[in-house]
């Protein structure tokens, strides 16, 4: 079922709590993604490492029953990651975030392309 872009855009970023995990193996990449989301108004609940550093593409897991489009809203904010997938997932025990972003190698590649075009 297609997602209504207007409905997604209407969700205030500050109402979404995001956990950002680095799954790329590139040191500091999770923090850079968290900083980018924080700059767009999202609440960052936690930044850490994923269960593995072998994620080629960024994965967005939505956990919120009250905001089912929260994951899609985060994906929109990370517009440079058109390859990112959004899936519904049960939160990890003790997790308090609405959305978990596992940053993959694709984020590093888009990050480098943007840096080289702005110099």
Distance from C-alpha of 110 to C-alpha of 107, rounded to nearest angstrom = 5
Distance from C-alpha of 82 to C-alpha of 74, rounded to nearest angstrom = 12
Given this model, what pLDDT does residue 89 score?
A: 67
Q: What is the mean predicted confidence (pLDDT) over 56-79?
A: 88
Cβ neighbours of residue 52 closer than 8 Å, sequence gap 6 or more: 23
Domain that holds residue 104: 5-117
Give me 115's structure tokens: 């840096």
Contact status, residue 75 vs residue 60, Cβ threshold 8 Å: yes
Q: Domain with 52 in it: what CATH number?
A: 3.30.70.2390
What letter does residue 33 receive in the DSSP assignment?
H
Given this model, what pLDDT does residue 63 score?
A: 87
pTM for the full model? 0.84
Q: What is the mean predicted confidence (pLDDT) over 70-74?
A: 91
Q: How many domains does the chain have?
A: 1
């Amino acid at each position: 079922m297609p997602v209504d872009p207007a409905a997604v855009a209407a969700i205030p970023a500050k109402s979404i709590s995001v956990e950002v995990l680095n799954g790329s193996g590139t040191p500091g990449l999770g923090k850079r993604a968290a900083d980018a989301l924080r700059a767009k108004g999202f609440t960052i609940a936690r930044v850490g490492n994923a269960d593995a550093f072998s994620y080629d593409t960024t994965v967005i897991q939505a956990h919120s029953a009250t905001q089912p489009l929260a994951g899609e809203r985060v994906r929109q904010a990370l517009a440079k990651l058109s390859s990112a997938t959004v899936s519904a997932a049960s939160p990890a025990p003790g997790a308090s975030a609405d959305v978990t972003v596992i940053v993959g190698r694709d984020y590093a590649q888009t990050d480098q392309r943007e840096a080289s075009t702005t110099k």
